[in-house]
Amino acid sequence: MVITGLPMPPSANALYRNVNRRFGKGSGRVKTNEYKIFESKIKQWAWQNPDQFTLARTFIKQVQSRGDLIRLDLTFFFERSRIITKDQRPKRLDTSNRLKAMHDALANMLGFDDCLIWSGAFDKVALHTGGEYAEAKLAIIKKNHAFMPTPNV
């Protein structure tokens, strides 16, 4: 199952910030505005793409009812100038930092615990034109798959 046109998640470096409150609850970590905006965009995506959303929810319910696991492959589509220099060298843009936000957002949107994501991969693709977005490919991993250790009896 493929979910297309997802909003680009922020880097893990931009998900939370430290706060030091003089009064009230004390110090801690809170979501950044960038992360809150991304979460809002994911909800908006679900409303604007009811067919993909419904198919994905049905897929997740099937996985959960069988007790299976999920393979989640993500592709991040970036504007070419953000990931490739003029002399065709890769720029510093750590795509793996975007996995956490996307895993959490998909799990929240589709109603599953992200511990069910057992394996996966990620790619980045250079776009010549257009906005940046992400694509998720979900696949079922059977409960007794080689990736999942068998219990000692």
User: What is the per-residue pLDDT across 29-60, written as a single tens digit (0 to 9) for each?
Assistant: 888 999 999 999 999 999 999 999 999 999 99
Identify the CATH number of the domain in which residue 83 sits: 3.30.1330.70
Confidence grade of residue 137 (pLDDT, cut at 50, 70, 90): very high
Q: Tell me the C-alpha distance between 64 and 15, whole Å.
A: 28
Q: Tell me the C-alpha distance between 2 and 67, whole Å.
A: 21
**Which residues constitute the domain of residue 136?**
2-141
Give me the half-sphere count of Cα atoms (radius 13 Å) on the Cβ side of residue 27.
Answer: 2
At residue 56, the pLDDT reads 97
Q: Is residue 129 part of a domain?
A: yes
Give me the half-sphere count of Cα atoms (radius 13 Å) on the Cβ side of residue 106.
Answer: 31
Q: Is residue 152 part of a domain?
A: no
Domains contained in the chain, number = 1
* pTM (2 d.p.): 0.85
Residue type, 21: R
